Amino acid sequence: MSNKTASKKLLVTGGAGFIGSNFIHLTLAEEADWEVVCLDNLTYAGNLANLQECLDHPRFRFVKGDIGDPPKVQEILKGGIKVVVNFAAESHVDRSILGCQEFIRTNVQGTQVLLDGARESQVELFLQISTDEVYGSLGPEGKFTEQTPLAPNSPYSASKTAADLLVRAYHHTYQMPVIITRCSNNYGPYQFPEKLIPLFVTNLLADKKVPVYGDGLNVRDWIHVIDHCRAVWTVIEKGQAGQVYNIGGNNERTNLEITKMLLEILGKDESMLEYVTDRPGHDRRYAIDASKIETELGWRPQMDFMEGLRQTVQWYINNQSWWQAIKTGAYLKYYEQQYGIKF
């Protein structure tokens, strides 16, 4: 029997990717009064397999399309969408170093098209999913707050910053109800195996070495994807229009620490670790001060990192066909070219 009693409609862009698909799973499971429309043009990072169990759900509809396509966006938004959550993006720093045309097209122009559509159809909230990378890089001390000046260092983070500034300007100029969230590094199920944790797990499962950039001492602040998704729901329900909320796991780790934890979980030794040429312009340290969302909205991350990492590794062990289908030659060629790594 259909439970189609939902009265509110949410547009999730980029919902076939890593965080968007986790967000849709969570929403269908826990937010019974919301219908979800997912708009995704299925780039290399978008995978309908991530939404397999959702496709027949009575409160879900998938639309293949581009956030930069005005007629498509307008048509969807005019179907009664109340809230837009914009996850759609080109999201990988290394790819942006190789060439950033798609990053500008999707992350900047696509956001502009969505903003115009959302403004025209008078949505109640436009939520822009941004990143801690817009703040640039930290030295050994301090954390990013919402007041930290924007100083992006990679073409990816520059494109995300441009989008943030557009979103901010639409609030200031048109009083559009917008919110920006800036989250730290996510890990969990369905992450494309070009990012640190799934790349290393899938390499180790295939008995391949793991390429650590530079000295391996760059620091990231890791958060489980479900903690991020719950933070996004907290912001939808309680956030103030015009505000920025940082989201973080309060969990700083060097890449070397992460690598050693994965080696331990998978029972491999350090001979599997290979130091390779550093990423050009590699940001040294990210760390989020999430006290605003914690004190004002009452959100806190729940997942213990070691437990979350073990669960994530187990997910990749249980879903080998998912990642083996993805690990084709196309993106590996870039790694060979850029870092001289032979897979």
* Residues acting as catalytic residues: 132-133, 156
Which of 60, 62, 126, 192 binds ligand NAD (CB under 6 A)? It is: 192
11 secondary structure, DSSP code: E
**First-last CA distance in the chain:** 49
- Contact status: 14 vs ligand NAD (CB under 6 A): yes
232 binds, among ligand TDX, ligand NAD, none (CB under 5 to 8 A by kind): none
State the number of binding residues for ligand TDX (CB under 6 A).
16
Question: Is 15 a binder of ligand TDX (CB under 6 A)?
Answer: no
Q: Which does 16 bind (CB under 5 to 8 A by kind): ligand NAD, ligand TDX, none?
A: ligand NAD
The least CB distance from residue 106 to ligand NAD, in Å, is: 4
| DSSP-assigned letters across all residues of 291-331 | HHIIIII-------HHHHHHHHHHHHHHTHHHHHHH--HHH
Restricting to residues 270-289, which ones interact with ligand TDX according to CB under 6 A?
Answer: 279
How does DSSP assign 98-166, residue by residue? H--HHHIIIIIIIHHHHHHHHHHTT-SEEEEEEEGGGG----SS--B-TTSPP---SHHHHHHHHHHHH
CA distances to 103, 193, 231 from 15, rounded to whole Å, are 17, 17, 17
Of the pair 92, 171, the CB lying nearest ligand TDX is at: 92
Q: Is the backbone of residue 331 left (phi > 0), alpha (psi -120 to 50) or beta? A: alpha
Among ligand TDX, ligand NAD, none, residue 313 binds (CB under 5-8 Å by kind): none
- Using CB under 6 A, list all residues that contact ligand NAD: 13-14, 16-20, 39-43, 45-46, 66-68, 87-89, 91, 106, 110, 129, 131, 160, 183, 185-186, 192
- Using CB under 6 A, list all residues that contact ligand TDX: 91-93, 131, 133, 185, 195-196, 199, 211-213, 218, 220, 255, 279
